[in-house]
Amino acid sequence: MSNDDPDEEILGKLEGALDLVFNAESSMKGLFDGLINIINNTKNNFIALGHQKKILEDQKIELEEKAKEQEQEISGLTNDQMILLKEYESVKEELEKITLMASGENEFRIEDMRATLSIYRILLEEIYSSQPHFKVLFLLHGATDEMSIDQLKGASGIGGIAILRAVHELHRADLIKFDEDTHVVKLIKRFFPKKIK
């Protein structure tokens, strides 16, 4: 018997075609499974990227807020520095006046300022015993410009006779008013402004 039977040949071709279809179907199933895996992985990557994006946006907002706070702190320091600079300029101006007055010179020099302050300090502390005078004026430049003798004694820590003597001398110099009946002392003129807290 020969293999030349047309039915067998057709049957063989049909089996071959079925094998091809079956193999193609298996290949396509593998391909579709691979595509599904790629799509699922891509979807999971997009979700992970979304979470990372949200975290990065939150961190960005947090960093921007911190930067804003630091900027405000820096500007606050700058304002404080400007206030200190103004106070320094005011003190420097007063010291220049004292130095020029004391030295009789027309030109201001820092060495003259140091010398003038040293001389005045020695005169005030050693010669004139002016600590009570200074304390009275300093206390009256505080929160209130009016105090009793007893309040001045308590606040200064200086004895009553020294405070009373200083009050009388400052009264004669028209720097303060002193009421003999009530023993109340009042500052006539401020030499520097009240501190604002």
Question: Between these two residues, 24 and 144, which has the higher pLDDT value?
Answer: 144
Residues contacting residue 168 through CB under 8 Å, at least 6 positions apart: 178
Sign of CA dihedral 57, 61, 62, 63: positive
Q: What Cα–Cα distance (Å) separates residue 11 from each residue in 22, 25, 168?
A: 16, 20, 140
Q: What is the largest CA-CA distance in the chain?
A: 156
pLDDT of 1 strictly over 50 = no
Please write the tens of the pLDDT for every residue from 64-88.
999 888 888 877 767 777 787 788 7
Please write the tens of the pLDDT for every residue from 75-131.
776 777 778 778 878 877 877 777 776 666 667 677 777 777 777 776 666 656 667
Please write the tens of the pLDDT for every residue from 134-184.
888 888 888 788 999 999 888 888 888 888 998 998 898 888 999 999 999
- Nearest CA among 165, 174, 94 for reference residue 132: 165
- Which of the residue ranges 34-38, 53-57, 126-130, 134-138 would you say has the lowest mean pLDDT? 126-130
| Segments making up each domain of the chain, as ranges | 71-128, 129-191
pLDDT of 132 strictly over 70 = yes
Give the pLDDT score at 168: 92
Give the pLDDT score at 84: 79
Domain 129-191 falls in which CATH fold? Arc Repressor Mutant, subunit A (1.10.10)
User: Two tokens at 143?
Assistant: 């929160």
